[in-house]
Amino acid sequence: MDGKTAIKVRALLMGAVVTLLFFFLLARLFWLQVVEADWLVARAERMWAAGSQVPPERGAILDRNGKELAKNATAYTVVATISPKDEHRVRDPEDAARKLAPVLGMSEDQILDLLTRRDAYQVELRPGGWKIDREKANQVRKLGIPGISLVETTRRYYPNGELAAHVLGFQSLDGKAVGGIEQAYDQALAGTPGTMTVWRDLKRNVLPNGLKDVRPPKPGKTVVLTLDEQIQSFVEQALDEAEKSFRPKSMTAIVMDPNTGEVLAMANRPTYNPNRYWEVKDYRQFLNGAVASVFEPGSTFKIITLAAAIEEKLFNPNETYLSGRISGPFGTVRDHNRRGWGRITFLEGVQKSSNVAFVILGYQRLGKERLYQYVMRFGIGEKTGIELPGEVPGLLKRTHQMYPADVANMAFGQGVGVTAIQQAVAVSAIANGGNLLKPHIVKEIRDAETGQVLYRMQPEVRRRVVSEATAKQVRDILETVVTDGTGQPYALDGWRVAGKTGTAQKVGPDGRYLSGKYVYSFIGFAPKDHPRLLVYVVVDEPEVDPARGGGAVVAPIFKTIMRNSLLYLNVPQDKPGAPGAGAPTVQPGQAAQRPAGPSGAANATGARGDGDGQTGYMPDLRGLSLRDALAVCGEMGLRAEVHGSGYVVRQSIAPGAPLPKDKRVRLELADFREADEN
């Protein structure tokens, strides 16, 4: 065969081979795209799909009237692009560091270190540029440094700063809940993150039609506290003033509704601003002393001994005993003035806070077992169960470990350790007629979206500790402490206060009492017969002459809190003839119709707040009594900071001015005549 024929045959052969190969290719293609497609799709999806979590919004913490105590705010993080590969990078790190340092409050070197890192594409300028507020962000923006950008994010914000800091706790910038309600209710507040599945390209951009599945996040629940922002603010203010004057080591104040166990205010000093928690150097400052600190209560503890003695019918107010000192198996116990007052009645003994009287009642008459039983029944040595983290049970020795001296000391409040909340709850039982309650600080938990109430606090009686009659008798006696005894500096105009002072000498590390170092306290409630409020104030080591005693330190705190709160709550006065008792009261919502005050009628138009206090103008409060002024403020959603007593003579926001965002107004009060003269 010639060349041409050979070519023909061989070309046909090759044609057949090529055709066969093409069928292989076609078959392979069919295999991949039809038969094996599902398997490949499933694998490919794993590569495209990037599940991401969508963080939920954290639930707000509100006070009992719905005012925001903790919320979420927009924040900005300063980010520097530093990769040499990026066209829009920081090209002059020295210049950038120099300009940024003063704005971010960081040193130039610190910033320069971040800007010259080689292991990152972008860096966040932490800590100074981490989650900063809008104002600071604008300052950074104005610098106009190339390569510096701001990333919007959110952070926890506490609109009232230090207010109720220990109750609230805080959420750190990196999202950890520390202390307080934030920590205890972290799970409820946190919410459930949403999930989002998107298909992304290799550069992490979302592919066209790449949004595959979105499950929206479920926002955290709203936690409503029993706290009343206004009362809390009275407390904070009073403690601030005492701190300025007496520089105590620490202070604690609790305001409770003794009938329900609701804590209306709780504050400690020293405190901190949860918005700038990182400024706190000593972490003990985050501790909520009201539930986590144990101290010797001193004489306020005598209320328990007294109630026990009355309940056991071992107390006769008119019976007499020899005060001054008493000796027995427990050694010798002296009254605080060391000499005593001669032969006096037990009622006088209580009024004068005579240790001897309580050794007789507690050690000799009740005896170790019965006294111990009562102390236990009043909840000492046992956690109250309040919804706050870090609560401790206090220190109560077991009976078999108690020597006679321990029993005698316990009868007047020494050698026993309590927490402030324990003591407040124990005395609340006297105020409410004999029931030991579980204290509450969480009033409601609500669904943030629907507002549906998921949990509502109910007053909870742990047990009856004394009878109604006993409680009443103790209240009567405690009133005489204020009218005739050691509690006289704590009396209020307008309301009958019952209470008990306490002065405990501090124990040193060697177990011996330190001279000149005292814990001063007062626990009291009002109005005496139907108590609405119980206030407990503890001041540790104030710089005050021991001769002036706690009255100089504690009484102003107690009285400011109690008086302002009673006025604010519109509690009817039960003390006849007190000045101001007959002053006109302003009913909520009627503020605008009140008779024109000293400054004329025109001002009143602004007082028409619309219930929730979202908008409106400042009413003229001048000339109003504190009670009326507080009523108007409450109606307008304003928080009053009160200075002085009597009638309003000055207000920090001019009448008719728009209400400020923070809804704070400072009121100065003076005697009415003074106001007239102005």
Reduce the DSSP state of residue 179 to 3 states and report it: coil
Q: How far is the CB of 87 from another protein (least distance, A)?
A: 12
Q: How far is the CB of 656 from another protein (least distance, A)?
A: 59
Q: How far is the CB of 4 from another protein (least distance, A)?
A: 6
Distance, in Å, from the CA atom of 272 to the CA atom of 292, rounded to the nearest integer, reads: 16
Distance, in Å, from the CA atom of 560 to the CA atom of 275, rounded to the nearest integer, reads: 27
Q: How far is the CB of 120 from another protein (least distance, A)?
A: 22
Q: What string of H, E and C letters represents the secondary structure of 56-107?
A: CCCCCEECCCCCEEEEEEEEEEEEEECCCCCCCCCCCHHHHHHHHHHHHCCC
Residue 150 near residue 100 (C-beta atoms within 8 A): no
Compute how many other C-beta atoms are within 10 angstroms of the C-beta atom of residue 244: 8
Tokens of 594: 């009140």
Q: How far is the CB of 88 from another protein (least distance, A)?
A: 15
Q: Among 183, 582, 262, which residue's Cα sits nearest to residue 442?
A: 262
In the complex with another protein, which residue's Cβ is closer, 209 or 450? 209
Residue 318 near residue 343 (C-beta atoms within 8 A): no
Q: How far is the CB of 215 from another protein (least distance, A)?
A: 23
In the complex with another protein, which residue's Cβ is closer, 19 or 107? 19
Q: Which residues bind another protein (CB under 8 A)?
A: 3-4, 6-8, 10-12, 14-15, 18-19, 21-22, 24-26, 28-30, 32-34, 36-37, 39-41, 43-44, 47-48, 199, 201-203, 205, 207-209
Name the β-bridge partners of 334: 325
Residue 261 near residue 437 (C-beta atoms within 8 A): yes
Q: How far is the CB of 39 from another protein (least distance, A)?
A: 7
Q: How far is the CB of 206 from another protein (least distance, A)?
A: 10
In the complex with another protein, which residue's Cβ is closer, 39 or 278? 39
Distance, in Å, from the CA atom of 203 to the CA atom of 185, rounded to the nearest integer, reads: 39
Adjacency order of strands within the sheet including 194-200: 49-54, 194-200, 206-215
Q: How far does CA 482 lie from the centroid of its chain?
A: 30
What region does 443 belong to: left with phi over 0, alpha with psi -120 to 50, or beta?
alpha
- Kindly give the pairing relationship between strand 664-670 and strand 639-643: parallel
Name the β-bridge partners of 641: 666
Helix 134-143 to helix 93-104 angle (10° resolution) is 150
Reduce the DSSP state of residue 534 to 3 states and report it: strand
Q: How far is the CB of 14 from another protein (least distance, A)?
A: 7
Reduce the DSSP state of residue 208 to 3 states and report it: strand
Tell me if the bond preceding 459 is cis, omega within 30° of 0.
Answer: no
Q: Among 82, 78, 80, 68, which residue's Cα sits nearest to residue 104?
A: 78
DSSP one-letter code for 417: B
Residue 648 near residue 624 (C-beta atoms within 8 A): yes
- C-alpha separations of 223 from 29, 176, 212, 487 in Å: 61, 18, 34, 38
Tell me if the bond preceding 556 is cis, omega within 30° of 0.
Answer: no
Distance, in Å, from the CA atom of 590 to the CA atom of 413, rounded to the nearest integer, reads: 49
Helix 404-411 to helix 367-377 angle (10° resolution) is 50
Name the β-bridge partners of 500: 523
In the complex with another protein, which residue's Cβ is closer, 36 or 674? 36
Distance, in Å, from the CA atom of 215 to the CA atom of 542, rounded to the nearest integer, reads: 56
Q: How far is the CB of 449 from another protein (least distance, A)?
A: 36
In the complex with another protein, which residue's Cβ is closer, 208 or 342? 208
Tokens of 604: 């009143």
Tokens of 4: 């041409």
Q: How far is the CB of 54 from another protein (least distance, A)?
A: 23
Distance, in Å, from the CA atom of 291 to the CA atom of 273, rounded to the nearest integer, reads: 19
Distance, in Å, from the CA atom of 462 to the CA atom of 214, rounded to the nearest integer, reads: 47
Tell me if the bond preceding 527 is cis, omega within 30° of 0.
Answer: yes
Which residues participate in catalysis according to the annotation? 299
Return the exposure string of 3-40: e unless at least 16 CB atoms fall within 10 Å of the residue's CB, then b.
Answer: eeeeeeeeeeeeeeeeeeeeeeeeeeeeeeeeeeeeee
